[in-house]
Amino acid sequence: MNVTALQQMTVLFVDDEETAREQMKMVLNSFCKNTICVGSADQALAALQEHNPDIVLTDIRMPGLSGIDLLNAIKQKDTAVAVVMVSAHSEPEYLLDAFRYKADGYLLKPFNFHDLLELLSDIATKKVATIKESSNGPEKIEFVLKILDTLGGRRAEIMEYVINHLDEDNLFHGTYDEVAEALSASKPTVVATFQIMLEKNVLTRLKYGTYRMNMDATV
Protein backbone atom coordinates (compact mmCIF):
# COMPACT_ATOMS: atom_id res chain seq x y z
CA MET A 1 0.00 0.00 0.00
CA ASN A 2 1.36 3.40 -1.01
CA VAL A 3 0.82 5.39 2.20
CA THR A 4 2.76 8.36 0.84
CA ALA A 5 0.37 8.80 -2.09
CA LEU A 6 -2.70 8.37 0.14
CA GLN A 7 -1.43 11.07 2.46
CA GLN A 8 -1.76 13.54 -0.42
CA MET A 9 -5.42 12.72 -1.07
CA THR A 10 -8.62 14.46 0.03
CA VAL A 11 -11.45 11.90 0.15
CA LEU A 12 -15.18 12.62 0.16
CA PHE A 13 -17.40 9.85 1.56
CA VAL A 14 -21.14 9.92 0.85
CA ASP A 15 -23.55 7.71 2.81
CA ASP A 16 -26.93 8.35 4.42
CA GLU A 17 -26.05 6.13 7.41
CA GLU A 18 -24.39 8.06 10.22
CA THR A 19 -22.62 4.98 11.60
CA ALA A 20 -21.01 4.30 8.24
CA ARG A 21 -19.80 7.91 8.03
CA GLU A 22 -18.33 7.77 11.53
CA GLN A 23 -16.48 4.51 10.81
CA MET A 24 -15.11 5.79 7.51
CA LYS A 25 -13.95 9.05 9.05
CA MET A 26 -12.11 7.16 11.80
CA VAL A 27 -10.35 4.84 9.32
CA LEU A 28 -9.43 7.33 6.61
CA ASN A 29 -8.25 10.07 8.97
CA SER A 30 -5.23 7.88 9.73
CA PHE A 31 -4.22 7.58 6.08
CA CYS A 32 -5.51 10.52 4.03
CA LYS A 33 -4.75 14.22 3.96
CA ASN A 34 -8.39 15.12 4.58
CA THR A 35 -11.66 13.20 4.91
CA ILE A 36 -15.07 14.79 4.38
CA CYS A 37 -18.23 12.80 5.15
CA VAL A 38 -21.72 13.86 4.02
CA GLY A 39 -25.13 12.23 4.08
CA SER A 40 -26.55 12.84 0.60
CA ALA A 41 -25.65 13.36 -3.03
CA ASP A 42 -26.83 16.98 -2.83
CA GLN A 43 -24.46 17.63 0.07
CA ALA A 44 -21.71 15.88 -1.88
CA LEU A 45 -22.15 18.24 -4.84
CA ALA A 46 -21.74 21.20 -2.49
CA ALA A 47 -18.68 19.58 -0.86
CA LEU A 48 -17.12 19.09 -4.29
CA GLN A 49 -17.18 22.84 -4.82
CA GLU A 50 -15.82 23.62 -1.37
CA HIS A 51 -13.17 20.94 -0.84
CA ASN A 52 -12.11 19.78 -4.34
CA PRO A 53 -11.66 16.12 -3.31
CA ASP A 54 -9.35 13.82 -5.24
CA ILE A 55 -11.47 10.72 -4.58
CA VAL A 56 -15.19 10.27 -3.91
CA LEU A 57 -16.59 7.18 -2.21
CA THR A 58 -20.37 7.06 -2.58
CA ASP A 59 -23.13 4.69 -1.54
CA ILE A 60 -25.45 3.78 -4.41
CA ARG A 61 -28.84 3.62 -2.67
CA MET A 62 -29.63 6.89 -0.90
CA PRO A 63 -32.73 9.09 -0.49
CA GLY A 64 -32.99 11.65 -3.29
CA LEU A 65 -30.25 11.44 -5.89
CA SER A 66 -28.62 8.01 -6.06
CA GLY A 67 -24.92 7.32 -6.07
CA ILE A 68 -25.17 6.57 -9.79
CA ASP A 69 -26.69 10.03 -10.34
CA LEU A 70 -23.85 11.55 -8.33
CA LEU A 71 -21.24 9.59 -10.30
CA ASN A 72 -22.70 10.85 -13.57
CA ALA A 73 -22.76 14.45 -12.33
CA ILE A 74 -19.15 14.31 -11.11
CA LYS A 75 -17.78 12.77 -14.30
CA GLN A 76 -19.61 15.31 -16.46
CA LYS A 77 -18.00 18.11 -14.47
CA ASP A 78 -14.48 16.76 -13.85
CA THR A 79 -13.27 13.39 -15.09
CA ALA A 80 -10.11 13.72 -13.00
CA VAL A 81 -12.07 13.10 -9.79
CA ALA A 82 -11.94 9.37 -9.03
CA VAL A 83 -15.30 7.90 -7.96
CA VAL A 84 -15.67 4.57 -6.16
CA MET A 85 -19.16 3.10 -5.82
CA VAL A 86 -20.24 1.43 -2.58
CA SER A 87 -23.23 -0.89 -2.25
CA ALA A 88 -24.66 -3.54 0.03
CA HIS A 89 -26.17 -5.12 -3.07
CA SER A 90 -24.40 -7.19 -5.69
CA GLU A 91 -27.01 -7.08 -8.45
CA PRO A 92 -25.26 -6.94 -11.83
CA GLU A 93 -27.19 -3.88 -12.99
CA TYR A 94 -25.41 -1.74 -10.39
CA LEU A 95 -22.04 -2.82 -11.74
CA LEU A 96 -23.13 -2.12 -15.29
CA ASP A 97 -24.43 1.33 -14.39
CA ALA A 98 -21.32 2.13 -12.35
CA PHE A 99 -18.89 1.35 -15.12
CA ARG A 100 -21.11 2.79 -17.84
CA TYR A 101 -20.55 6.15 -16.16
CA LYS A 102 -16.82 5.43 -15.75
CA ALA A 103 -16.61 4.56 -12.04
CA ASP A 104 -13.06 4.02 -10.84
CA GLY A 105 -13.95 1.15 -8.52
CA TYR A 106 -16.75 -0.79 -6.82
CA LEU A 107 -16.90 -2.00 -3.21
CA LEU A 108 -19.47 -4.08 -1.36
CA LYS A 109 -20.70 -3.61 2.19
CA PRO A 110 -19.85 -4.63 4.84
CA PHE A 111 -16.44 -3.08 4.23
CA ASN A 112 -13.24 -5.00 4.17
CA PHE A 113 -11.12 -2.00 5.14
CA HIS A 114 -7.91 -3.62 3.91
CA ASP A 115 -9.41 -3.97 0.42
CA LEU A 116 -10.74 -0.42 0.66
CA LEU A 117 -7.33 1.03 1.52
CA GLU A 118 -5.61 -1.02 -1.19
CA LEU A 119 -8.05 0.32 -3.80
CA LEU A 120 -7.65 3.91 -2.60
CA SER A 121 -3.88 3.44 -2.57
CA ASP A 122 -3.91 2.25 -6.19
CA ILE A 123 -6.02 5.24 -7.24
CA ALA A 124 -3.83 7.65 -5.27
CA THR A 125 -0.65 6.23 -6.81
CA LYS A 126 -2.02 6.75 -10.33
CA LYS A 127 -3.08 10.29 -9.45
CA VAL A 128 0.34 11.18 -8.08
CA ALA A 129 1.96 9.77 -11.22
CA THR A 130 -0.38 11.86 -13.39
CA ILE A 131 0.49 14.99 -11.43
CA LYS A 132 4.19 14.23 -11.84
CA GLU A 133 3.72 13.70 -15.55
CA SER A 134 1.87 16.97 -16.05
CA SER A 135 4.46 18.95 -14.10
CA ASN A 136 7.61 17.20 -15.27
CA GLY A 137 6.77 15.81 -18.69
CA PRO A 138 6.39 12.27 -20.06
CA GLU A 139 10.13 11.69 -20.14
CA LYS A 140 10.38 11.92 -16.38
CA ILE A 141 7.42 9.66 -15.64
CA GLU A 142 8.78 7.07 -18.08
CA PHE A 143 12.09 7.19 -16.23
CA VAL A 144 10.28 6.80 -12.89
CA LEU A 145 8.35 3.76 -14.09
CA LYS A 146 11.56 2.15 -15.37
CA ILE A 147 13.11 2.58 -11.93
CA LEU A 148 10.13 1.09 -10.13
CA ASP A 149 10.12 -1.87 -12.52
CA THR A 150 13.64 -2.77 -11.37
CA LEU A 151 12.58 -2.93 -7.73
CA GLY A 152 9.90 -4.69 -5.74
CA GLY A 153 8.05 -4.59 -2.45
CA ARG A 154 9.31 -2.11 0.11
CA ARG A 155 12.22 -1.03 -2.10
CA ALA A 156 9.80 0.24 -4.76
CA GLU A 157 7.86 2.11 -2.10
CA ILE A 158 11.05 3.70 -0.76
CA MET A 159 12.18 4.78 -4.21
CA GLU A 160 8.72 6.16 -4.96
CA TYR A 161 8.94 8.20 -1.76
CA VAL A 162 12.23 9.68 -2.95
CA ILE A 163 10.75 10.49 -6.36
CA ASN A 164 7.70 12.14 -4.83
CA HIS A 165 9.89 14.36 -2.65
CA LEU A 166 12.29 15.72 -5.26
CA ASP A 167 12.58 19.48 -5.42
CA GLU A 168 12.55 21.50 -8.63
CA ASP A 169 16.24 20.73 -9.15
CA ASN A 170 15.66 16.96 -8.84
CA LEU A 171 17.33 16.96 -5.43
CA PHE A 172 16.17 14.79 -2.55
CA HIS A 173 16.83 15.98 0.99
CA GLY A 174 16.55 13.34 3.68
CA THR A 175 18.51 10.84 5.74
CA TYR A 176 18.07 7.07 5.91
CA ASP A 177 16.52 7.45 9.35
CA GLU A 178 14.03 10.06 8.11
CA VAL A 179 12.93 7.88 5.19
CA ALA A 180 12.63 4.81 7.41
CA GLU A 181 10.49 6.73 9.89
CA ALA A 182 8.26 8.26 7.21
CA LEU A 183 7.50 4.86 5.66
CA SER A 184 7.69 2.70 8.81
CA ALA A 185 10.41 0.74 7.02
CA SER A 186 13.55 -0.85 8.43
CA LYS A 187 16.73 1.18 8.11
CA PRO A 188 18.64 -1.71 6.46
CA THR A 189 15.99 -1.87 3.71
CA VAL A 190 16.28 1.88 3.15
CA VAL A 191 20.08 1.71 3.04
CA ALA A 192 20.02 -1.21 0.59
CA THR A 193 17.57 0.61 -1.70
CA PHE A 194 19.70 3.75 -1.80
CA GLN A 195 22.80 1.64 -2.42
CA ILE A 196 21.15 0.03 -5.46
CA MET A 197 20.24 3.43 -6.88
CA LEU A 198 23.73 4.78 -6.22
CA GLU A 199 25.32 1.78 -7.96
CA LYS A 200 23.01 2.23 -10.95
CA ASN A 201 23.89 5.96 -11.04
CA VAL A 202 20.24 6.81 -10.64
CA LEU A 203 21.16 8.78 -7.52
CA THR A 204 24.32 10.75 -6.81
CA ARG A 205 25.16 11.59 -3.22
CA LEU A 206 26.11 15.28 -3.01
CA LYS A 207 26.51 15.41 0.74
CA TYR A 208 25.01 13.88 3.85
CA GLY A 209 21.23 13.72 3.41
CA THR A 210 21.26 15.27 -0.10
CA TYR A 211 21.02 13.32 -3.36
CA ARG A 212 20.55 14.26 -7.00
CA MET A 213 18.41 12.08 -9.24
CA ASN A 214 20.05 11.57 -12.62
CA MET A 215 17.27 11.62 -15.17
CA ASP A 216 19.53 10.46 -18.00
CA ALA A 217 20.76 7.36 -16.18
CA THR A 218 20.40 4.01 -17.93
CA VAL A 219 18.25 1.79 -15.73
Contact yes or no for 36/57 (Cβ under 8 A): no
Please give the pLDDT value at position 13: 97
Please give the pLDDT value at position 110: 82
Per-residue model confidence as pLDDT tens digits over 68-81: 999 999 999 888 89
- Pick the more confident residue, 155 or 40: 40
β 210-213/171-173 pair status? antiparallel
Model confidence at 211: pLDDT above 90: yes
Q: How far apart are CA 180 and CA 80, in angstroms?
A: 32
Please give the pLDDT value at position 200: 80
The secondary structure of the chain, three-state, reads: CCHHHHCCCEEEEECCCHHHHHHHHHHHCCCCCEEEEECCHHHHHHHHHHHCCCEEEEECCCCCCCHHHHHHHHHHHCCCCEEEEEECCCCHHHHHHHHHCCCCEEEECCCCHHHHHHHHHHHHHHHHHHHHHHHHCHHHHHHHHHHHHCCCHHHHHHHHHHHHCCCCCCEEECCHHHHHHHHCCCHHHHHHHHHHHHHCCCEEEEECCEEEECCCCCC
Q: What domains can you pick out in the chain, each with its CATH number?
A: 3-131 (3.40.50.2300), 137-213 (1.10.10.10)
Model confidence at 89: pLDDT above 90: no
Please give the pLDDT value at position 54: 94
The secondary structure of 1-19, three-state, reads: CCHHHHCCCEEEEECCCHH
Grade residue 95 by pLDDT with cuts at 50, 70 and 90.
confident
Per-residue model confidence as pLDDT tens digits over 24-37: 999 998 899 999 99
Mean residue pLDDT across the chain? 84
Q: Which residues, at least 6 apart from 90, have a Cβ–Cβ distance to it below 8 Å?
A: 108
Per-residue model confidence as pLDDT tens digits over 119-175: 999 899 888 876 655 555 555 545 555 555 555 567 778 887 888 888 878 899 999
> Which pTM does this prediction carry?
0.61
Lowest model confidence (mean pLDDT) among 3-7, 20-24, 165-169, 214-218: 214-218
